[in-house]
Amino acid sequence: MPEPITPLDADKDDHDDLVFLDEQPAAPASSGARSVWRVMIIDDDEDVHSTTTFALGNLEMQNRPLEFVHAYSAGQARELLKHESDIAVILLDVVMEQDDAGLHLVRHIRETLKLSDVRIILRTGQPGYAPEIDAIRDFDINDYKTKSELTRIKLFTTVTAAIRSYEQIRSISNSRLGLDRIVHASTQLMALHGVHNFSAGVLALVADLLQLRADGVLCTQAVSEQGKRSLLVCAHAGCFSGVAHGTLCSIDNPRIAGAIEHALAQRRNVYAHDYATLYFAGKSSRDSAAYLLLPRPLTAIEESLLEVFCSNVAVGLDNVELVSHLHNAAFYDQLSKLPNRTRLVEILDAALAGPARDDATLCLVDLDHFAETNDALGHKFGDLLLVAVAERLQNQLGSQLTVARLGGDIFCVLGDASEVNPVQILALFQTPFSIDGQDVQLSATLGLVRLGEHAGTGADALKDADIALKRAKTQQRAGHFYFSRSMGIEIRERVRMMHALRTGFAQGELFVVYQPQIDLSTRRPVGAEALLRWQTPDGKFISPDRFIPIAEYSGIIIELGEWVLRTACRELVRLREQGNRNFVMSVNVSQVQFRHPLFLEMLRRALEDTQAPPEFIELEITESMAMEEPDLLIKMLWQIKQTGVSIAIDDFGTGFSSLSYLQRLQVDRLKIDRAFVTEITGSARGSSIAEMVIQLGRNLGLAVIAEGVEDERQAQILQSLGCPIAQGFLFARPMTADALSSWLSDEAMQGAA
């Protein structure tokens, strides 16, 4: 014989698992003369059936054993319920054939089969899935638990409570009017929002249920952080209307206060000839009790009705508190108690749809340098400072404006344009904030948008205000800036381009072309510069001047730059195999790419993977990039030089180079910018700057190359000045890898002829 399940011990920990590996399955209930409680288990997991019968099989509830009916799908349950009768409790899995199979079955049980007495307990193994509150309300679902919650004792407690409820409902089944009133009252209560409204509804509906005048008070037991218990008044009715809400339950009559304390201590309803104290079990020691004056003693049926009603109310109170808590967490900032971003978007949507739209202004308030204050004085101090800012904005701007906190150090003010005045808002920060006896001076920067000029949703209006805020921060801290339509077009075009660039790169729309570099004395090719190009599917070319800055801004340049380097290295290897042994490949490196912490590792890996000879790879950096943080650059260039790669400074002469730093930089070549090449023949200054760069390179022992050479006159002057190498349309336009191979072959043949 299997060993019986150990009797429940109230003193033991109730966190035991549902599966008991050291126990045998319970024997089925004997078919004696005694009646049984019939429990139907509906679940597609056989282990749930076995573990449930393990936990409950040998136990008695309300002096009766349990008999189990098993269904392994919602469809099978439908067939069984056509013939099975006197089912007291249904333990129902929410997710079976479909995600909501359990809820559809509940609808079938309540609406089609008209089984109103059976108690239904929903269970789910998926904590993220929960039935809608409407479903709990409409279909009289008695409880909802995740399977991980249902430890042995909690399962016993839950089923016992359901059976008690079922027994009580059956015992008063002849009083259908009372049951209808309970269902009606529960439905009404579920429609109420907020703990106060729900509590007031409880008192009114209890009086209606008993057909008596509502004279009573409902209190909730609260526990402080120090563990001290107190009673808070949630609602009152009739002769108790003078009791204040939210205060300690200080009722003059000690008999009433004592009755409430007694019901809470006994954890049950207490009935007397002239009053009733109703107990509502809650979570986290937040039990509640209601004191009702009675003109007459209650009948047994009325007491039974109240027991059932109080069971429903207890769950309802918990749910209302939970919903209130979730509502506050979802829509209000927990630090400042102001509306958060989610709630503000709702308010903005309503304002945009209302008549006040044309006169409304939205203002973002960004505290200047708050992060530094937070770091210096600590996060607790920073939180107190944020609360002080919230209070000042609320108290001094007036109740007609909406003040919200969007997170971090950004607040928001919304209201009539005449009230949302940037000068007045900034003036609020002229007075220091006193925090823990310490004065802190803050300033703020504002970004504003006039809703009358805005076309879009509340979320779009916030984005526009943020664009204005960013513009204000770049122009003048402690100032303000209004959003304009042109700013929005500019930002949205940048975002559109960024997404198009990501997509284009993934779909192979970007490619590398190569512009040959020519020895001016022999007119023979000695190298090429790798250049990135982008052609969209409709055949249009996007200028590098447009997409390279966006690639740098978005960070795509890191991935793009590595791809260009590897492509150029592979092409160099291919050209060398074709006989171009002294050919140098130049690759541009952006500032963002160059300063990436893994750039050096990426360079070494690319050289190793492609087997490109580093002595024939040249990296081009801009002059402005070379002069920014030159000490760090000197170290970085030294490390790059260890790989064997050479360095060129591109666009030389367009920046403001320090010659002392230039002398320390381990670069190999200066590249004369095309603007100075053009001046050779098109400016009164002639070749002065180009000549200076060539002379500087000679003095520093650096090679020099000129770019943008477009006519023979320019080439001749550069050669006469001592510039050895040039590139430009005069010699060749940028070309694809295959075209470059063909071009080099033709040049080789012409040279041999």
Supply the pLDDT for residue 700: 86
Confidence (pTM) = 0.48
pLDDT at 168 over 60: yes
pLDDT at 656 over 50: no
Q: Minimal CA–CA distance to 182: which of 313, 288, 277?
A: 313
Return the CATH number of the domain spanning residue range 37-171: 3.40.50.2300
Q: How far is CA 401 from CA 271, 389, 404, 453, in A?
A: 51, 15, 10, 19
Buried/exposed code over 682-718 (b: 16+ C-beta within 10 A; e: otherwise): eeeeebebbbebbebbeeeebbbbbbbbeeeebbebb
* Mean pLDDT, residues 93-115: 84
Class of domain 497-752: alpha beta
Supply the pLDDT for residue 13: 40
The answer to whether 670 and 649 have CB atoms below 8 angstroms apart is yes
Answer CATH for 341-483 from 3.20.20.60, 3.40.50.1820, 3.30.70.270, 3.40.50.280: 3.30.70.270
Supply the pLDDT for residue 357: 84
Distance CA 518, CA 743 (A): 13
pLDDT digits (tens, 9 = 90+) for 380-414: 888 899 999 999 998 888 778 999 999 889 999 99
Supply the pLDDT for residue 186: 53
On the CB side of 557, CA atoms within 13 Å amount to 20
Q: Where are the domains of the chain?
A: 37-171, 176-330, 341-483, 497-752
Supply the pLDDT for residue 31: 35
* Mean pLDDT, residues 558-572: 96
* Mean pLDDT, residues 475-498: 79
Distance CA 425, CA 419 (A): 9
pLDDT digits (tens, 9 = 90+) for 302-313: 787 788 777 767
Other CB atoms within a 10 A radius of the CB of residue 533 amount to 16
Instruction: Return the percentage of the chain with pLDDT > 70, whole number.
Output: 80
Class of domain 176-330: alpha beta
pLDDT at 515 over 90: yes
Supply the pLDDT for residue 565: 97
pLDDT digits (tens, 9 = 90+) for 445-461: 999 999 888 878 888 88
Which residue's entry shows tokens 């009573």? Answer: 216
Other CB atoms within a 10 A radius of the CB of residue 115 amount to 15
pLDDT at 26 over 60: no
Q: How far is CA 672 from CA 568, 666, 747, in A?
A: 22, 18, 25
Most confident of 202-211, 287-296, 437-446: 437-446
pLDDT-derived band at 4, boundaries 50, 70, 90: very low
pLDDT-derived band at 714, boundaries 50, 70, 90: very high
Supply the pLDDT for residue 483: 86
pLDDT at 10 over 50: no
Average pLDDT, the chain: 81
